[in-house]
Structure 1
Amino acid sequence: MTHRKTHLWISLIVGLAVWGVYFGHVIQSFRRGDPGNLALWFLGALAVIILAETVATGLIAWLFRRRSRALDEGPTLQAALKASHVALMILVALVLVTAAVLAAASLFGWTIDLSAARTQVLAANALLGMVVVTELSRAGLTLALIPRR
């Protein structure tokens, strides 16, 4: 397995695990009605992701140092570009759907009180969810599009 594929797999697995635990906790916190410590959970999840990605990237680079070669400019790069484009379109679609829901809600006179801490946490986690879905989609699609050798 190439350095790029190994790193993508680690990124995908770590991302699913860490953000899965985080969003599971978010859902449980909202069910209990106490989103008080979610900022700490978010910062902790972010720290774990950064640390895990840094350690994994360093370890992979060290393990593959003898077999390292120039980035495959052909199929691997094309797979990454296609997956990045699809991920961008996913992010754009998520933002547009969110904007449409907010616009439609205003037609019924519904408002969102962003001065309330609970609503701010909910909005922040919705935005975070969009980014996480986009990034995991990019990694997964890149892996799916890289040709088998």
Structure 2
Amino acid sequence: MTHRRTHLWISLVVGLAVWGAYFFHFIQLTRRGETGGLALWFLGALAVTVVAETVATGLIAWLFRRRARELDEGPTLQAALKASHVALMLLVVMALAAAAVLAFASLFGWSLDLSGAQGQVIAANVLLAMVVIAELLRAALTLALIPRR
């Protein structure tokens, strides 16, 4: 397995675990009507993601440094570019869908109450979820498109 593929797997597993736990906690708090402390949970999840990916990727690279194969940049780069394009398009679609929800709500006179603290926290987490979904899709699709050897 190439270093790039190993890093993608680490990124995918860590991302699913950490952000899955974060959003599970977010949903639990939101159901109870609480949003306090979510900024610390977000910073903690971000720190755990960065540290876990850095340590795991560095450890794997160091342990298997002698077995590392030369990357074939053509197909690997093409897979990464295609996956990045699909993830970007998904992010654009999700952002446009969020804008459409806001536009339709205002068209019908509905208020989503984004002026209050809880509404802002929910909006911030919806935007965060969009970015996390796009990034996880990019990693998974790159893994799927990298040619097998």
Q: Decide: shared fold, TM above 0.5.
A: yes
TM-score, normalised via structure 2 length? 0.94
Q: Does 1:101 align with 2:101?
A: yes
TM-score, normalised via structure 1 length? 0.94
Which residues in structure 2 correspond to 1:39-118 (within 5 Å)? 39-68=39-68, 70-118=70-118
1:137 alignment counterpart = 137
- Unaligned runs of at least 5 residues, structure 1: none
Structure 2 Cα separation of the partners of residues 69 and 141 of structure 1: 21
Amino acid at match of 1:78: Q
2:7 alignment counterpart = 7
- Unaligned runs of at least 5 residues, structure 2: none
Cα deviation 1:104-123 (Å, max 9, x = unaligned) = 11101123433311011101
The farther-off stretch of 127-136 and 38-47 is: 38-47
Other structure's SS at 1:98 match:
helix
- Matched residue count: 149
Cα deviation 1:59-87 (Å, max 9, x = unaligned) = 12212322445532221111111000000
Amino acid at match of 1:49: T
Structure 1 Cα separation of the partners of residues 89 and 122 of structure 2: 23
Other structure's SS at 1:109 match:
coil
Q: Does 1:21 align with 2:33?
A: no
Asked if structure 1 preserves the Cα contact closer than 8 Å seen for 2:26 and 2:38, the reply is yes
2:36 alignment counterpart = 36
Structure 1 Cα separation of the partners of residues 100 and 59 of structure 2: 44
Cα deviation 1:6-38 (Å, max 9, x = unaligned) = 111111001000011000001000111111111
RMSD over aligned CA atoms reads 1.3
